Structure 1
Amino acid sequence: MTISRKIRKVFKSRPIIQGADVHLMQVFGHREIPLFDPFLLLDDFRSNNPDDYLSGFPWHPHRGIETITYVLTGAVEHGDSMGNSGRISSGDVQWMTAGSGIIHQEMPKGDPNGVLEGFQLWANLPAAHKMMDPHYQEIRSDQIPILRLDNGIRIAVICGTVEGVTGPVSDIVIEPEYIDVTLPAQTAYVHPTKTGHTVFAYVIDGKGYFCGEKKPFSYESEGRNDYDLEVPPYLGNGTLALFEDGEEIAVSAEDEGIRFLLVSGKPIGEPIAWRGPIVMNTQEELRSAFDELQKETFIKKGTG
């Protein structure tokens, strides 16, 4: 018998300011450690106000993590200490492995109407890979396969394999899956998941029911008293469900459709020492990283 996952906790995105005064919504972050292992942070930077995002994220370091940027509308211009520069636009994905260290900048740009929509996910690296060489996988929208099921369900496969269709992002140590799923009204979908992997769904449009849950529940409220309230049984835009273990998740849409990001990965299960843009395993490693920044030895030979 197939074991269906149940909802473990529900989270509501909350406003936060990051970078050079960028206003965005954070879905989970530092205070949720280690619930989402191997994932560290999810930011939602959708806005139709350029004042929210044009200041961007000027030059800053990363070490020990991967950052995954998915742009729906608008663009993000970037440059780094390896001499790379470019622009990811609507529908594109950038999967950056910081590894031993990179210094980069990310400057968001809206579309002609000033609309910017996208998400950035941080994934941890295990100790054995913390100091790997940094590199990028930049995926253009036309490289991302779109799976269309008979009932009108649309699935963009960024990473992982769905119904025999494999996404373009590969060779990631946490064995992730990252898909963008849209269900029309009055449809249902069951998606297989790897047992033991962390799985969550973040709703970005419409509303729907997950795991057959049709009774009210509360947002996860530990340290977040502003969200200690009962919510409807469905999940709507800006809410996330973290699932218990199991072999599949089920979702259904009733009077309106739903669009969500479904993400999973293999937990690392190691200590986390995290300060700002650097995530290591020990406080000593963190101190060493920031000391190297001051001494300008942060970028390792062969990667700068």
Structure 2
Amino acid sequence: MLDEFSSNDPNDYVAGFPAHPHRGFETVTYMLEGHMLHEDHLGNQGHLKTGGVQWMTAGRGIIHSEMPQQVSGAMRGFQLWINLPAKEKMKPAGYQDIQVEDIPKTALANGGSVKVIAGSYECDGKVINGPIQGITTAPIFLDVHLPPNSEFEHRIPKELNAFVYIYEGNLELGGPMREVPKQAAIVLGDGDRLKAKAGTLGAQFIVLAALPLHEPIVQYVVHSS
């Protein structure tokens, strides 16, 4: 699940998210703009600021809060939920607070850039590893910025499920290329290479991929009376 949150109105976000539980999956919060404070029942505390990432493994259970540390300005970012395989749903909970300076960012020859949050990205024969590695689902999380009319290619292992979400500008994807509107999530089909071209406005988008679990999913069970 991917949620994009965005507001310049403090009335939309000052209440924050007081203490609440999670279990059995991972939550990844990527802050484009703003400042949130994370606290949990394990004693972890972290400041999530512009460009930073909070990677939390709920495992067998964690109670945490996410409270804004600002009363004006923009609050914008993403929260991604990544499921855990059944055998790991009761693992101990964990938390990583990743500051913007700990996330590698590489410049592209066309004037664009790629931030590598999870997984790896290869550029000019050099492999750039993000701070998140060694997770069973082998996630890839890239934030790509392209100037107008520029192109981007990236190899994604064919065994992963992948999608692209564009949050600024306009973009063309696929073969043959097709235009993707802003705030669209595009699930990628079979193959092992992502090809994209920014439109006249340039493009900013995230690339997300991970191994499918091939396990049953149960949301809830309703018993009739």
Q: Does 1:104 align with 2:64?
A: yes
Counterpart contact for 1:205–1:236, Cα < 8 Å: no
Amino acid in structure 2 at the alignment position of 1:72 = L
Q: Does 1:162 align with 2:121?
A: yes
Residue of structure 2 equivalent to 1:60: 20
Deviation at 1:109, TM superposition (A): 4.1
Residue of structure 1 equivalent to 2:91: 132
Normalising by structure 2, report the TM-score. Answer: 0.92
For residues 113 and 252 of structure 1, the distance between their equivalents in structure 2, rounded to whole angstroms, comes to: 35
For residues 274 and 79 of structure 1, the distance between their equivalents in structure 2, rounded to whole angstroms, comes to: 27
Residues 108-167 of structure 1: CA distance to partner in whole angstroms, max 9, x if unpaired? 344x74211110000000011001111112110001111111111200011111111111
Residue of structure 2 equivalent to 1:116: 75
Q: Secondary structure at the match of 2:200?
A: coil
Amino acid in structure 2 at the alignment position of 1:161 = S
Q: Secondary structure at the match of 1:234?
A: strand
Aligned-CA RMSD value: 1.5
Counterpart contact for 1:212–1:251, Cα < 8 Å: no
Amino acid in structure 2 at the alignment position of 1:69 = T
Deviation at 1:213, TM superposition (A): 4.7
For residues 176 and 79 of structure 2, the distance between their equivalents in structure 1, rounded to whole angstroms, comes to: 28
Amino acid in structure 2 at the alignment position of 1:268 = L
Amino acid in structure 2 at the alignment position of 1:203 = I
What does 1:10-29 correspond to in 2, within 5 Å? none
For residues 135 and 12 of structure 2, the distance between their equivalents in structure 1, rounded to whole angstroms, comes to: 32
Q: Does 1:238 align with 2:183?
A: yes
Counterpart contact for 1:57–1:105, Cα < 8 Å: yes
Counterpart contact for 2:105–2:114, Cα < 8 Å: yes
Amino acid in structure 2 at the alignment position of 1:90 = T
For residues 87 and 205 of structure 1, the distance between their equivalents in structure 2, rounded to whole angstroms, comes to: 25
Residue of structure 2 equivalent to 1:15: none
The structure 1 residue matched to 2:11, chosen from 37, 44, 51, is 51
Deviation at 1:271, TM superposition (A): 1.3
Q: Structure 1 residues 195 and 165 mapped into 2: Cα distance closer, same or farther (>3 Å)?
A: same
Q: Does 1:186 align with 2:149?
A: yes
- Identical aligned residues as a percent: 41
Mind listing any 5+ residue stretches in structure 1 that lack a counterpart?
A: 1-40, 215-232, 276-282, 284-304
For residues 191 and 12 of structure 2, the distance between their equivalents in structure 1, rounded to whole angstroms, comes to: 39
Residue of structure 2 equivalent to 1:150: 109
Q: Does 1:248 align with 2:211?
A: no
Q: Secondary structure at the match of 1:255?
A: strand
Residues 9-28 of structure 1: CA distance to partner in whole angstroms, max 9, x if unpaired? xxxxxxxxxxxxxxxxxxxx
Amino acid in structure 2 at the alignment position of 1:75 = H
Residue of structure 1 equivalent to 2:55: 95
Q: Secondary structure at the match of 1:100?
A: coil
Q: Does 1:171 align with 2:116?
A: no
Q: Comparing both structures, which one devotes a greater share of its residues to helix?
A: 1
Counterpart contact for 1:66–1:98, Cα < 8 Å: yes
The structure 2 residue matched to 1:261, chosen from 197, 203, 206, is 206
For residues 219 and 55 of structure 2, the distance between their equivalents in structure 1, rounded to whole angstroms, comes to: 20
Q: Secondary structure at the match of 1:128?
A: helix
Residue of structure 1 equivalent to 2:100: 141
The list of structure 1 runs, each at least 4 consecutive aligned residues, that deviate by more than 2 angstroms after superposition, is: none
For residues 124 and 254 of structure 1, the distance between their equivalents in structure 2, rounded to whole angstroms, comes to: 33
Mind listing any 5+ residue stretches in structure 2 that lack a counterpart?
A: none
For residues 213 and 58 of structure 1, the distance between their equivalents in structure 2, rounded to whole angstroms, comes to: 46
Amino acid in structure 2 at the alignment position of 1:130 = K
Count of residue pairs the alignment pairs up: 217
Q: Does 1:210 align with 2:166?
A: no
Residues 147-204 of structure 1: CA distance to partner in whole angstroms, max 9, x if unpaired? 1111112000111111111111122111000000011112111110111211001101
For residues 272 and 108 of structure 1, the distance between their equivalents in structure 2, rounded to whole angstroms, comes to: 33
For residues 45 and 67 of structure 1, the distance between their equivalents in structure 2, rounded to whole angstroms, comes to: 14
For residues 60 and 90 of structure 1, the distance between their equivalents in structure 2, rounded to whole angstroms, comes to: 23
Residues 242-275 of structure 1: CA distance to partner in whole angstroms, max 9, x if unpaired? 1112111110013220000000000001112236
